[in-house]
Structure formats: structure tokens, C-alpha cells
Amino acid sequence: MDDKIENLDEETSELEHLRKLVKEKQMKEQQNEPVSEPVSNEVKKTKVVLRKVERKKSKRVLGIKLILLSLLLVPLFGYLYIISLHSNRLINDTLSTVMLVLTIISSGVLLTGIILVLKNKKIKTGRKVKTWAKAITGIFLTGYVGVSTLVMVLLYGPNNGFRDWLVTTAMMTMNHQYLAEWFYDEVTIKDILDSNTVVESGIDTNPDLVQIGGGNAGQTVYANEYEEAILKKDKGNELYKIIDINEGKFKGKMAVIYDPSKVKLAVSKGTGSNLDSSYGQMITKMSKDNNAVIAMNAGGFYDPNWNSSGGVPHGVVISNGKLIANNKRAVSVGGIIGFNKENKLVLAKMSAQQAINAGIRDAVDFGPFLIVNGESSFINGNGGWGVSPRSAIAQRKDGIVLFLVIDGRQTASAGADMNDLVNVLLKYGAYNAANLDGGTSSAMSLNHEIITNPRNGNFQPKTRAVPNAWIVVK
């Protein structure tokens, strides 16, 4: 009988035999028939065995439940504790201690569940769980643990690609800096921003190197597809051409302006120095007011709490040779981005008076400078500006001007970093190029209608009022 007890969990037929004996005894007792002593003893032992088996079943079921529960709780509490070690913005010190305690407790629960299952591993619970239910449970737990672990590896693992992207992109937005501050402390954020920078050449553009002449109208052979896209004009349109930009991870529009003398800087009628009384305008409005064909946002502006009306520009603003603004600069890189009286794009670090003396007719103050005299700036990491909607202006060596707007904050186009801007502009032959204000401001219009896909900080299809815009007049 001892052998039967030891192997009871594996010998289903024997267990059924014992159960039949119990049933037989119960029937005879009901019929008042005598029960033989051997049968009665065997029945008593059987009941003992059945109770032991049921206890083991209960322990195994409990173990399985504990394992499933702890697989949900250990990653949750454990990873929240890890996050709290890197920043206290999402989880303060008190909650951090609580997370640690809960992690230890849930880990102990997991260990207890494993022990219960291992000690009763040969016991069948008798509970039939449907295959689809097992599959769903397995897929959910695998996905839950796998995804949460992947997130932790991306946030704090040895590869800094995702970490740099998150911090630089979040810190350059108006409304989502908390996404970086939740997971990293101020020192870490500063270190990441410092290691992702644009190192400019330190020299100014040399306008003499640009020879304005446009493309050869009769040219039929081109160096590459990008040269063909630029130089092969649309029939009946000698002024401009719109090129669709599609680089896989981002999309946008490039306006090719064949006559640089047609590029001007439009200024909002509400531009001023007082935040309360000044206001910006949509590029479509400035386009209409100036009878422009094409318009693109230009310089940055004071935007405390990211809710200003866009009327107070940063830095120097010059329009038609007149000094419109001479405010504090927005960024430490870059400088004057403008056209001189010879219609050549000038990128230079100079004061407002120096710009006027140099014959700058239209200009804003922004940056960084991306390409100067045919040489691109050195970009550490992603340049420190993250991945966002972008605007840039450039001029080729033949004088053709390029307006570039990259869409962002959407599934079809995440946005671009400084490397992306440089790569696209170089493909199309940019000789001098600079980054302009980006994010929600990035937009381009054609005949007073937006042709890009702007997104604001809440990922809504909106742009915003700005103090100035680069335009192309007829």
C-alpha cells in the first residue's frame, strides 16, 4: 500500500480503484450490508491518501497563482524602483523605498510559488484550462515582461542611442520635457545635451564663392538624381519648384527658388518688444499680405511658458535693409542668417550694426550653421536638438536657394535631427545652410495654403503664429 501511495499521483488507474472502494463501502453502508475488514482498512488508507493528494493539489494551484501574480508585480515594482534611482521627478524618495520593499516582497512571493510548484511537480491539479486561455496568458506575460525589460534596457542600458534621442527630443519641445525629467536627473540630462552638439567651423560664409547663374535651361545630362531634381525646371515655371522629400523615417517639402533676388523676409505686423502688445502671424497671412508665392517660417521668438503670441523675435531681424529688432539671442550657436544686396546667403557671427554695414538686406538670428562654404559642421551624436519638425534655408554654389521643411511628430514622419538636415541639404547641393526655428513653427505654404504637415506639441495638425517668415515674391 505504501508503494501505491508514493506513486499515486502517477498511477491514475490505481487512484480510481481506491475511489471505487470508497464508493462501494458507502453503498454497502447504505444497504446495511457488512463490510469486510480488509476492505474497510483499505478504504481508510485511501481516504488518507486522497486528503494528501488534495493538499498537494491545493499547494500546486497556489504556487501557480503566486507565480503568475509575482510575474506581474516584480517587473512593475522593480523597474519603478530602478527609475527612482535615476530621477525623483516621477517617484519621490518615500515612494522609492516603498517600491524597494514591494519588490523584495513580490520576489519572495515568486520564490515561494516556484518552491510549491517544484515540490508538487508530479501532481496533476485536475483543472482543465483551455488551450486558448493558456496561450493568451502566456503571450500576455511574455509581452509584459519582455516589453518592460526592453524599456529598461533602452533607458538605462549600455547603448545610449535611445537615451540621447529621448532627452534631446523632449528637452527641445514646449510641452513634453517631463518625458526626459521623469527618467533622468538634471546632471544626466545636462551631460546628454553636452555630448550631443553641433560644432560649427567658426568661419563666416564667403559670398564671393557663390556665382549666381541658376541651372542650365538646356541641360539634359545630370550628375545624379538630386541634381536633376533641382535643375530640371517645371514647364512654364522659371521661378520655383517644389520637391517632395521622402527619406523613409521622415518626409517633407523642399522649395527650389531659381532667382535669389525674389527671396525676402516678411515681418508680422504685430512684431514688437512687448509680450503683451506684440503678436505674430501665420505664414499664410504674411504670404497674402506680401503677395508671396511661397512662405516658410524663419527666426525664433520669446515664448515664456510656451503660450506667447509669437510677436517678440529673438536676436537681430532685418527686413528690406531696415533693422526691425535687436533683442537677446535665442541660441549660443549660429548667428546672422540673411541675404546681402547681391542676393547671396550670408551666415556670420556679427552684430546688428555690423550686418547693416555689411549690406545685409534681409536677415534673422538663429542657428546652428549647418554648412559653410561647402563644409558641414561637425555634429556630435544627433546634434542636441533631438528629432522634431525642422526648417532650414540654404543656397547652392550656383545661387539657387533651398527652403526645406521636414514634418515631424507623426507616424509617417517622426522628424529630423541635425544630421538628417545636413544629409538632405548636401544631396541637393547646398553650399551654405542654416537651421531655422522648428517644432510647431515649422511649416511651408504655396499660394497661401499650407503644403506641409505641421504638428503642435500635442501632436495636433496645427502650426502657430510667428514673428517673421522667408517668402518668395513674384
- Length of the chain equals 474
* Predicted pLDDT at 29: 57
* DSSP structure class, residue 234: P
- Cα–Cα distance between 423 and 417 in angstroms, integer? 10
Beta bridge partners of 241: 256
Of 336, 335, 332, the C-alpha closest to 318 is: 336
Mapped onto helix, strand or coil, the DSSP state of residue 13 is helix
* Predicted pLDDT at 23: 66
CA distances from 118 to 61, 278, 364 (A): 12, 74, 72
CA distances from 166 to 144, 162, 172, 315 (A): 22, 6, 10, 28
Strand order in the sheet with 444-446: 263-267, 468-473, 292-297, 444-446, 449-450
Amino acid at 21: L
CA distances from 302 to 169, 249, 286 (A): 20, 31, 19
CA distances from 316 to 1, 224, 332, 355, 377 (A): 99, 38, 14, 9, 23
Q: For residue 87, how far is the Cα from the chain centroid?
A: 20
Q: Is 88 exposed, middle or buried (0-12, 13-18, 19+ CB in 10 A)?
A: middle
Of 255, 196, 250, 175, the C-alpha closest to 416 is: 250
* Predicted pLDDT at 188: 96
CB 302 within 8 A of CB 312: yes
Handedness of CA 178, 180, 186, 192 (dihedral sign): negative
Low-confidence residues of the chain, pLDDT below 50?
A: 1-12, 35
Q: Is the peptide bond between 75 and the residue preceding it cis, with omega within 30 degrees of 0?
A: no
- Cα–Cα distance between 89 and 178 in angstroms, integer? 8
* DSSP structure class, residue 24: H
* Predicted pLDDT at 182: 95
CB 245 within 8 A of CB 253: yes
- Cα–Cα distance between 456 and 410 in angstroms, integer? 10
What is the separation, in whole angstroms, between the first and last Cα of the chain? 105
Integer Rg of the chain from CA: 36
- Cα–Cα distance between 254 and 243 in angstroms, integer? 5
* Predicted pLDDT at 218: 65
